[in-house]
Structure 1
Amino acid sequence: MVDLKQLNDEQRKAVEFVGTQQIVLAGAGSGKTKVTNYKVAFLIKKGLKPDSILALTYTNKAAGEIRAKVKELVGKKADSISIGTFQSIFANILRTEAKHINYRDNFSIYDVEDSLSLVSNVMEALGIEVDGLTSNTVRHRISYLKNHMINPVEYRKKIAKTKKDKLIADIFEEYQNRLVANNSMDFEELLLETIKLFSSKKQVLQKYKKKFKYIIVDEFQDTNKTQYKILKLLVSRSCKVTVVGDDSQGIFGWKGANLKNMHAFKKDFKNHKLFKLEQNFRSTKTILTAADSVIKNNKDQYVKTLYTQNNDGEQLTLIKCADEKDEAFQLAKYIKKEISKKKLSYKDFAILYRTNAQSRALEDIFRKEKVPHTLIGGLEFYRRKEVKDVIAYLRVIANTNDEESLLRIMNFPQRGIGNTTVTRMIAFARKHEITLFQTMSRVFEVIDIKERIQKNVKGFRLLLEKYIELKDKLSLGELSRALVDELGLIRMFKSEHTAEANQRIQNINRLLQIITEYSDANKGATLDEFLEEVSLTSGIDMYDEEKNAVTLLTLHSAKGMEFPIVFISGCEEEIFPLANKFSEDTSVEEERRLFYVGMTRAEQKVFISHARSRYRFGEVAYQSRSRFIDEIKPAALEEVNGGIGRKANRKTKKELFYEYFNSVDYDDFDQDNKVVHIGSRVMHEKFGLGKVVDVTGVGDQVKATVNFEGNNVRQLMLKFARLKILH
């Protein structure tokens, strides 16, 4: 039942409004999600057909929560509502309308890692090897350009000025060609193809304009240019639209989000009505006062005044620490103290930080201090090598054009198909304008491939063809289990008899369980649908909030979450706010909004910490505390000393390097920190501690020249060197 008595006056008015265009300006903790849930339910109660409602969210997790809550309010009618992220909703539309686009309906969706791999392969194929032009830099640039609707031709003609710019234009152009050839789209392409479809096929656009009578966009402040363009295309004269957001919480500019969309909406939809949700139900008065004193330093904001009927609460506590290890120790100490004092659980605590690298010291100390913790945004489950490998097999079975996935599994498990063979097959494919998969059936025509290897390639293709034929005859669970069993992956890892191999077995078994559960819950679901869900799943979507552990996560990942106690760590200049030299997309105002988001995640208490010194890029850096600390109203903040002033147990820089490298596993570095730079500190299991003095090559051919202790200079192939890297 839709009982609007559950809402306050501000919320109820926003829900009951049924005019044409609406902006809901929802301050932090003001019940934004609740309003969205009730809005959808209210529309259905008023007679709107559920399948004519489109609700667009920022994460899959948010979409799932909205659907579940609306189902509580209106029952099974909620199943017919289109609820999801921009990418998931429009990927589904693109598959339905595939005959109108330059892709088949079984296209693959590339995540960031897949895109990075494609960029690397393109750079290698084009022979581009320029100092300072890494595959990661190029991928980030391509993503930025696509989010701003700039194609390779426009970039080359209007923007590219320097030699590097022109090389990026070459890579960008070939990257786009390879996406089409691979029948694959990256996240940005999903939206660009939707715009092309709606702009060029008016009958298709009219079909969806007719279908959707009411559109709701959540987290509107984090939409980008392409998303707003799609919204404007879809909204017809008869369609009503509600956008919900908060300009004070716009934190994804580095992903292409455009805060100006909120102001553009006012101009583009002149008949809109503005509703403000200003009562905060989450935080104490003191937390709100502190947050407001910081965010008011930003200019050009919507005017809103948050208030709360909660109690005053405690002051924020600023912990001054000696270094990052002391900071982690102090945080563990205060967590234990708060648990004892307030009878809280570990799951009531979150530690937020600006960059993922800051979690390492926290994890190390928390293990030693026996503080249970869970990490969000580290090495996500679907990015683990063994999981990506199995997914790559499934992708090729679903889409044989997916060259990136095929390259990944060509010699996994090892079947005697080396890089030289693969290079010759790719050259043959390009010459004859066929796919790599098609080349495998003509491998006997490829010059200079030995007969033994030709048989291996043929055997591999027959294996894939077997499962391509089975994919429509078996359930997803049966198909994946049969495939993993025939590949012998579990047996292979068992034979290694290592803890790492056992973890890989657990991950594969977990993946098989996920596939089976998905298949059981979604009768008749196709392999394409499962792979789409996997590609669009983020770390936050798999977060288990019932697990009794301290949550470690970046401030960006914390958006939309709340905890009784929040720690904001690493509050030092050049870390938070992040220095422009490390990210050209950062601005002080966006960093301040991020700080505001961090503070307003807390219900009862906020701790802020900063360190006097911290290891950064292989050197000790002496830090000054963040300017945001000084913007907090003094009466709302108490300062305490952590480890500053202690002289005992000081170690040499060399001892600290060894301690750090010995505290982390190689696997973390292998999959999470692949890039080495001149000046990087590294650890080799045989040669010890060293400093990188030169880097050459691209892709799998990258070599690093390292000066190890005792002036022992070595040139190492990174693919095999198993270096631990300190960034």
Structure 2
Amino acid sequence: MADILNELNQQQKNAVAAPSGPVLVLAGPGSGKTRVLTYRVAYLIAVLGVQPYQILAVTFTNKAAREMESRVAGLLGNKADGLWLGTFHRICGRILRREASYLPVDHNFVIFDSDDQLTLIKRVIKEKRLNDKDYRPRQVHSLISKAKNDLLGPDEFPIEGYRDEVIAEIYQAYQAYLIASNAMDFDDMLLYAATLLETYPEVRKKYAQRFTHILVDEFQDTNMAQYKLLSHLASFHKNIFVVGDEDQSIYRWRGADYHNVERFMRDYPDAGKILLEQNYRSTQKILDGAVAVINENANRTQKKLFTDRGSGEAIVVKEAYDDKAEAEYVVETIDRQARMGLANESDFAVMYRTNAQSRQLEEAFRRANMPCRLVGTQRFYGRREVKDVIAYLRLIYNPRDEVSLARVINTPPRGIGSVTEQQLNAVARQAEMSSGEVLLAMNTEKGAPFVEALERSAQRLLPFSKLLRGWREKLNRITLGELFDEIVLDTDYESYIADESEEDQDRWGNVLELRQVLLEYEDRDLAEFLEAMALMADQDTLPDSLDAPTLMTLHAAKGLEFPQVFIIGLDEQFLPHSRSKDDAESMAEERRLFYVGMTRAKNRLYLTRALRRRTPYGSYEDMIPSRFLEDLPEELIKGKFTHSYDTTETYDRSSYQWETPFGSTSGRKKPTPPKAVEQRFQPEMQVMHPTYGKGVVRKSILEYGDETVEVYFEGLGLKALVASMSSLQILED
């Protein structure tokens, strides 16, 4: 074992052979944290003589657990048999089944997955006769999940108003159903385990004495329930060895609390603290750029990342004319290097903040006849919300499309169940018509026999029939964009998919991105659009062996590495995301997310942005460079910028300029936009919008050479509109 320790660098060696007691290892990206954890386990067994069954090693993913198990076996063989190694949920499951007599369920309990949980939440909401638009199942489930992660049962659910009281009642009923089903959800596994150890001293003593050493991976991603669980398990021997990096904490929206790193040092004031700063992945210029960005965050341990891989190439900053040109630059750069034999296509990864940003990239790769691989999500045209809207358009164009009808007839839910669908199909078969044709006829004089034949089911179908007929009648009188707006507004589709969660906001972004695609077909008809969509959606899954670049969100990139990395969308609103602008904690997490993306690159890093981006409503919005670009030292970057007249020039950072519609800005200065000449909109003013209808102005701000107007529209809520682009009209009193 001593020979194996010699393979480690000094910082790794210090961690692996650290004295017993609490130890915090802050591991920079690419610094070998998995190796440290693995060797620590081997060191405990082979050198200190600790029995494997006395060691608990906890990871966040099954993949990480399998990798660690394989590495330990490679070092020790069967000497590691009996080691407790697994994810938090797996470890909790083992404890809970052994101690089921203390629980409200027996040892044969089942785990409800995400779909099961949502089905149960919907059932409770329906039984309580609540409006599922006021109490959206996903949002309610998210609040219950957060409460459980904070170790709060139904009786402790925080109440600040009537709505919270109702959600607490839903939580109570949901939990009762779980217990009656001899089931628990994933959050219960943590909640029950932590509560069990806290409530019953004899159980806590049993496991705290058993595990003489506890090791934890990705500690910065733990939530309060996980932290308390670990504290109880370490309460006897206090030999807890945690590895993490607060700079890579990017899952706050899932309940992760990077403040647990600070909490650990506060709860264990004598804990050893070891930094792993030697990076084995990236070149020094990439590391220096990443460190310069993350150093702007407060309340963190400063780390100086270094590598033996050399200085490397400067970080490339590319400023494109618009988002389409940005995507084409990425594809052309990859294609050029691949054709010249400088790199394989699979050496490249393209990362972005939200899934909707993949659409321009996917289409640019398609135009270049270059396959690409998406990680962690469907291709744009295969995403559920995109397929829903396209199915509506297909049904409007062709009412005989039974597949599209089946997809949208009860999406969003409108009380049309399987029995009603079967009755509709039966009536259609008897009439030798399609179900869609019967639906269309129901709101006409000729439809009376169908209404009579469908009996009570007709009342559920008539409102949808009226919508479908209305859209069909307008098909040749309005633009595709206007038809899209009518579908989304008439079905209240935004409320159906979008709540406050990051995931659902991302899904709504995909819908808006589809509207932007529609604008490219404004001078053509719906048939051409649908034909193009069918061709784009007809993409086979790529074999793993195929040489192709990888597309993914920055969140999905965690734990991965690539020779060359593009991070696109370095504009305010995208990275950092607009949702983070008013919250310091969220902004700090956006910076950590960018840092994670930068440190995925081994040899070359490209950062791209666009001078302007097309909005879902056809106009172009001028972009402001991301504040994160300003943090990069001048000597680390080089790049190109594109003038509005589409001329490309090369420059060094010493003369680096962001060319914007407001003039040039060099170095670290931000552009100074001209003031709008006149502020036309005042609070309480009545206005009319061509899509949203009548509204009331709440406030107006002069910024970036234009007027941004916040307007409240009945049934739609608050919308922020750029005056020059929105066709907003002032209504006379």
Cα pair distance change 1:584/1:107, threshold 3 Å: farther
**Structure possessing the higher radius of gyration over alpha carbons:** 2
Aligned to 2:641: 641
Count residues with an aligned counterpart.
511
Deviation string 1:249-306 (CA, Å, 9 cap, x unpaired) is 1211111111111111112122211111111121111111111111111111113222
> What is the CA deviation profile of residues 101-134 of structure 1, one whole-angstrom value per residue up to 9, with x for unaligned ones?
1223343333444433333333222222275643
SS, match of residue 606 in structure 1: strand
What's 1:94 paired with? Answer: 96
Give the deviation of 1:581 after TM superposition: 7.0
Q: Equivalents in 2 of 1:177, 1:544: separation in Å?
A: 45
1:327 to partner: Cα distance: 2.6
Q: What is the aligned partner in structure 2 of residue 259 from structure 1? A: 258
User: For the residues of structure 2 that align with 1:695 and 1:195, how far apart are their CA atoms?
Assistant: 43
Matching of residue 625 in structure 1 with residue 643 in structure 2: no
Whole-angstrom distance in 2 between the partners of 1:77 and 1:576: 48
Work out the CA distance in 2 between the residues paired with 1:246 and 1:90: 24
Q: Which residue of 2 aligns with 1:229?
A: 228
Match of 2:308 in 1: 309
- 1:711-722 equivalence runs, <5 A: none
Distance 1:86 1:114, change over 3 A: same
Question: What is the aligned partner in structure 2 of residue 298 from structure 1?
Answer: 297
The alpha-carbon deviation at position 645 of structure 1 amounts to: 4.1
AA partner of residue 576 (structure 2): P
1:311 aligned counterpart, secondary structure: coil
The whole-number CA distance in structure 2 between the counterparts of 1:173 and 1:30 is: 45
Aligned to 1:213: 212
Equivalent residue of 1:609, what SS?
strand
Which amino acid letter does the alignment assign opposite residue 88 of structure 1? R
Would you say the 8 A contact 2:288–2:305 is kept in 1? no
1:588-607 paired onto structure 2 within 5 Å? 588-607=587-606
Specify the code of the residue in structure 2 equivalent to 1:274: K
1:435 aligns to what? none
* TM-score normalised by the chain length of structure 1: 0.64
Deviations 1:451-489 (A, max 9, x none): xxxxxxxxxxxxxxxxxxxxxxxxxxxxxxxxxxxxxxx
Match of 1:184 in 2: 183
1:23 is paired with a residue of what secondary structure?
Answer: strand
Bigger shift: residues 114-123 or 302-311: 114-123
Deviation digits for residues 505-533 of structure 1 (CA, Å, limit 9, x no counterpart): x99xxxxxxxxxxxxxxxxxxxxxxxxxx
Considering only aligned residues, what root-mean-square deviation do their CA atoms show, in Å?
3.8
Indicate how the Cα distance of structure 1 residues 337 and 116 shifts in structure 2: closer, same or farther if over 3 A, else same: farther
Residue in structure 2 matched with residue 320 of structure 1 by the alignment = 319
Q: Determine which of 75, 78, 81 is the counterpart of 1:76.
A: 78
Aligned-pair CA distance for 1:15: 0.6
Q: Is 1:14 aligned to 2:45, yes or no?
A: no
Alpha-carbon deviations, 1:321-349, whole Å to 9, x = none? 34433332221111223334563223322
Look up the match of 1:26.
Answer: 27
Amino acid at match of 1:327: E
Paired with 1:174 and 1:331, the residues of 2 have a C-alpha distance of 51
Measure, in 2, the Cα distance between the counterparts of 1:547 and 1:197: 49
* Structure 1 pair 131–18 and aligned structure 2 pair: CA distance change class (3 A): same
The answer to which structure, 1 or 2, has the higher relative contact order (CA under 8 A, 6+ apart) is 1
Distance 1:97 1:367 in 2: 56
Q: Aligned pair in 2 of structure 1 residues 552, 245: CA closer, same or farther (>3 Å)?
A: same
The one-character-per-residue Cα deviations of 1:390-436 (angstroms, maximum 9, x if unpaired) are xxxxxxxxxxxxxxxxxxxxxxxxx9877999xxxxxxxxxxxxxxx
Cα distance in 2, alignment partners of residues 154 and 219 from structure 1: 29
Q: Which runs of 5+ in 2 are unaligned?
A: 385-416, 424-532, 648-689, 693-712, 717-733
Equivalence for 2:124: 122
Identical columns (%) = 38
Any idea what SS the aligned residue of 2:638 has? strand
> What does 1:322-361 correspond to in 2, within 5 Å?
322-340=321-339, 343-361=342-360
Q: Structure 1, residues 207-258: CA drift from partner, whole Å, max 9, x if none?
A: 3223322111111111111110000000033351101111211211111111
Determine if contact 1:249/1:594 at 8 Å carries over to the other structure. yes
8 A Cα contact 1:612 1:623, kept in partner: yes
Which residue type is aligned with residue 251 of structure 2?
Answer: F
- Change over 3 Å in CA distance of 1:309–1:573 after alignment to 2: same
For residues 550 and 35 of structure 1, do their structure 2 counterparts lie closer, same or farther at Cα, with a shift above 3 Å needed? Answer: same
More displaced 10-residue stretch of structure 1: 84-93 or 333-342: 333-342
Cα contact 2:580–2:587 (8 A) shared by 1:
no
Amino acid at match of 1:637: I
Partner of 1:378: 377
Tell me the secondary structure at the aligned position of residue 184 of structure 2. strand
Matches within 5 A, 1:642-721: 645-646=645-646
Q: Secondary structure at the match of 2:123?
A: helix
The yes-or-no answer on 1:366 pairing with 2:368 is: no
Give 1:104's aligned residue.
106
1:611 aligns to what? Answer: 610
- Quickly say closer, same or farther: Cα 1:151–1:612, change in 2 above 3 A: farther
**Aligned twin of 1:539:** none
CA contact (8 A) 2:612 2:622 kept: yes
Measure the CA separation in 2 of the matches of 1:645 and 1:90: 61
Which digits, 9 at most, give the CA deviation of each residue in 1:569-627, with x for residues without a partner? Answer: 22221221122379989611111111111111111111112233445666654432211
- Verify the 8 A CA contact 2:58 2:216 in the aligned structure 1: yes
Q: Given the superposition, is the C-alpha separation of residues 153 and 604 from structure 1 closer, same or farther in structure 2, using an over 3 Å criterion?
A: same
Distance 1:104 1:128, change over 3 A: same
Any residues of structure 2 matched to 1:265-276 within 5 Å, and which? 265-276=264-275
Query: Does the CA contact (< 8 Å) of 2:209 and 2:236 recur in 1?
Result: no
Task: Quote how far apart the aligned CAs of 1:174 are.
Answer: 2.4
Separation in 2, partners of 1:417, 1:204? 51
The answer on whether the counterparts of 1:24 and 1:275 sit within 8 Å (CA) in structure 2 is yes
Cα distance in structure 2, aligned partners of 1:294 and 1:314: 18
Contact 2:125 2:135 in 1 (8 A): no
TM-score by length of 2: 0.63
1:544-567 alpha-carbon deviations (Å, 9 max, x no partner): 986643222221221122111111
Q: Report the Cα distance in structure 2 between the residues aligned to 1:636 and 1:352, rounded to whole angstroms.
A: 20
Q: Tell me how far apart the structure 2 counterparts of residues 561 and 276 of structure 1 sit (CA, whole Å).
A: 21
Select 1:59's aligned residue among 54, 58, 61: 61
Contact 1:209 1:236 in 2 (8 A): yes
1:271, 1:293 → 2: CA distance? 30
SS in 2 for 1:319: strand
Structure 1 counterpart of 2:154, one-letter code? P
Q: Distance in 1 between matches of 2:262 and 2:120?
A: 37
Of the structure 1 ranges 75-84 and 267-276, higher mean CA displacement relative to structure 2 is found in 75-84
Question: Which stretches in structure 1 are left out of the alignment for 5+ residues?
Answer: 386-414, 422-498, 508-542, 648-677, 681-692, 697-727
SS at match of 1:589: helix
From the superposition, tell whether residues 120 and 547 of structure 1 become closer, same or farther in structure 2 (CA, over 3 Å): farther
Q: Is the Cα contact below 8 Å between 2:290 and 2:595 reproduced in 1? A: yes
Render the CA deviation track for 1:325-380: whole Å, top value 9, x for unaligned.
33322211112233345632233221111122222332233233233322222149
Which moves more between the two structures, 34-43 or 571-580?
571-580
* CA shift in 2, pair 1:546/1:632, >3 Å: farther
Structure-2 change in CA distance of 1:226 and 1:279 (3 Å)? same
Specify the code of the residue in structure 2 equivalent to 1:52. Q
Q: Is the 8 A contact 2:125 2:132 kept in 1?
A: no
Distance 2:326 2:332 in 1: 10
What SS does structure 2 have at the residue aligned with 1:629?
Answer: helix
SS at 1:209 equivalent: helix
Do the aligned partners of residues 619 and 172 (structure 1) sit closer, same or farther apart at CA in structure 2, a change above 3 Å counting? Answer: farther
SS at match of 2:628: helix
Give the AA of the match of 2:567: I
What amino acid is the match of 1:335? I
CA distance in 1, matches of 2:608, 2:225: 38
